[in-house]
Chains A and B, each alone.
Chain A
Amino acid sequence: MARQKIYALLEDRDATLTFEEDDPLEQTMVLNMGPQHPATHGVLRVVLKLDGERVVHAVPELGYLHRAMEKLAENKSYHEFMPYTDRLDYMSPYSNNTALCLAVEKLAEIEVPERATYIRTIACELARISSHLLSIGALVMDTGALSVFLWTFQEREKIYDIFDLLTGARFTISHCRVGGIASDLSKECAELIIRWLKQFKPKIQEWRKLLDRNRIFIERLEGVGVISKEDAIAIGLSGPNLRASGVHYDIRRDEPYLAYNDLDFEIPTFENGDSYARYQMRMLEMEESVKIIEQALRKLPKGEVRNEDAKKTFPWKDEIYHSMESLIHDFMMTDSGIQMPKGEIYHAIEAPKGELGFYIQSRGEGVPWRLKIRSPSFCNLQALPKLVEGGMIADVVIIIGSLDPVMGEADK
Chain B
Amino acid sequence: MLNKVSIALQSAFPKALLETTKFRNELTFRVKKENIREISQFLKEELGFNLCVDICGADRFNEEPRFEVIYNLMNLEHNTRIRLKVWLEEAKPHLPSVISVWPAADWYERETYDMFGIVFVNHPDMRRIYMPEDFEYFPMRKEFPLVGVPGSIPLPEFDERAQNLDAGKRYNQGQRI
Within 8 A of B (CB), among A364-396: 369-370, 372, 374, 378-379, 382
Chain B residue with the shortest CB-CB distance to A251: B79
Which residues in B have their C-beta under 8 angstroms from that of A68? 139
Interface flag for A66 (CB, 8 Å): yes
Task: Report B-chain residues with C-beta under 8 Å of the C-beta of A75.
Answer: 146
Residue A25 interfacial (CB < 8 Å): no
Decide if B104 touches A236 in the complex (CB within 8 Å): yes
Interface range on chain B (Cβ under 8 Å from partner): 20 to 34
With A66-B131, A343-B24 already in contact, the answer to whether A382 and B51 are too (CB < 8 A) is no
A411 at the interface (CB under 8 A from B): yes
Chain B interface: which of A39-47, A184-192, A257-265, A353-361?
Answer: A353-361
| Chain B residue at minimum C-beta to C-beta distance from A61 | B129
| Chain A nearest CB, measured from B16 CB (Å) | 21
CB-based contact B24/A71 at 8 Å: no
Task: Name which residue of chain A comes closest to B148, CB basis.
Answer: A68
Name the B residues within 8 Å of A348 (CB-CB). 53
Residue B59, interface by CB 8 Å = yes
Asked if residues B104 and A382 are in contact (CB atoms below 8 Å), the reply is: yes
| Contact with B83, one of A236, A346, A382 (Cβ below 8 angstroms) | A346
Determine whether the beta carbon of B59 is less than 8 Å from that of A370. Answer: yes
Please measure, in the bound complex, the distance between the C-alpha atom of A355 and the C-alpha atom of B104, giving whole angstroms. Answer: 14
Q: CB-CB < 8 A to A310: which residues of B?
A: none
Asked, given contacts A345-B23, A346-B81, whether A249 binds B76 with beta carbons under 8 Å apart, the answer is yes
Query: Which residue, of B51, B129, B144, has the highest number of chain A Cβ atoms within 10 A?
Result: B51
Do residues B54 and A372 form an inter-chain contact, with CB atoms below 8 A? yes
A267 at the interface (CB under 8 A from B): no
Contact of B45 with A by CB under 8 A: no
Cβ proximity bits A217-259 to B, threshold 8 Å, 1 near / 0 not: 0000000000000000111100000000001010000110000
Chain A residues near B139 (CB-CB < 8 A) = 68, 71
> Which of A249, A359, A369, A370 has a CB less than 8 Å from the CB of B54?
A359
Q: Assuming the A-B contacts A254-B79, A343-B23, are A374 and B130 also in contact, with contact meaning beta carbons closer than 8 angstroms in the complex?
A: no
Contact yes or no, A71 B140, CB < 8 A: yes
Are A374 and B146 in touch, CB under 8 angstroms? no
Q: Tell me the complex Cα distance, A357–B53, Å.
A: 9
B171 contacts chain A at the CB level, 8 A cutoff: no
Nearest A residue to B76 by beta-carbon distance?
A249
Task: Give B111's nearest chain A residue, CB to CB.
Answer: A378
- Whether B70 is near chain A, meaning CB under 8 Å from some CB there, is yes
Contact pattern, B 131-147, Cβ under 8 Å of A = 1, otherwise 0: 11000000110001010
Evaluate contact between B107 and A71: CB separation under 8 angstroms.
Answer: no
**Docked complex: B1-42 residues within 8 A CB-CB of A:** 23-24, 26, 28
Q: How large is the interface on A (under 10, 10 to 19, 20 to 34, 35 or more residues)?
A: 35 or more
User: Is A382 a contact of B107 with CB atoms below 8 Å?
Assistant: yes
A:295-353 near B, CB below 8 Å:
343-346, 348
Q: Is the CB of B130 within 8 A of A346?
A: no
Measured CB to CB, the closest approach of chain B to A61, in angstroms, equals: 8
**Residue on B with the closest CB to A254?**
B79
The answer to whether A372 and B51 touch across the interface, beta carbons within 8 angstroms, is no
- A212 contacts the other chain (CB 8 A): no
What's the nearest-Cβ distance from chain B to residue A236, in Å? 3
Cβ of B106 within 8 Å of any chain A Cβ, yes or no, is yes
Known: A71-B139, A71-B146, A359-B72. A345 touches B50 (CB 8 A): no
Query: Is B50 in contact with A359, judged by CB distance below 8 angstroms?
Result: no
A291 to chain B, nearest CB (A): 23
Asked if residues A344 and B130 are in contact (CB atoms below 8 Å), the reply is: no
Hey, which chain A residues are within 8 Å of B104, CB to CB? 234-236, 379, 382
CB of B23 within 8 A of CB of A344, answer yes
**Pair A374/B72 contact, Cβ less than 8 Å:** yes
Give Cα A106 to B24, complex, Å. 8
Bound CA span A344–B28, Å: 9
Q: Is A292 an interface residue (CB 8 A)?
A: no
Residue of B nearest to A236 (CB): B104
- A-B residue pairs in contact (CB < 8 Å), sample of 25: A62-B129, A62-B130, A63-B132, A66-B131, A70-B140, A106-B24, A234-B102, A234-B103, A236-B51, A249-B76, A254-B79, A343-B24, A344-B26, A344-B83, A345-B26, A346-B54, A346-B81, A355-B53, A357-B53, A359-B54, A359-B72, A369-B58, A372-B54, A374-B54, A374-B72
The 9 A-B residue pairs with the shortest CB-CB distance in the complex, in nearest-first order: A236-B104, A63-B130, A66-B130, A372-B56, A374-B54, A343-B23, A370-B58, A254-B79, A234-B103
A residues at B contact (CB < 8 Å): 62-63, 66, 68, 70-72, 75, 106-107, 109, 233-236, 247, 249, 254-255, 343-346, 348, 355, 357, 359, 361, 369-370, 372, 374, 378-379, 382, 411
Q: A233-B76, A236-B104, A345-B23 are in contact. List 6 more A-B contacts (CB 8 A).
A: A63-B128, A235-B104, A236-B53, A343-B24, A346-B54, A382-B104
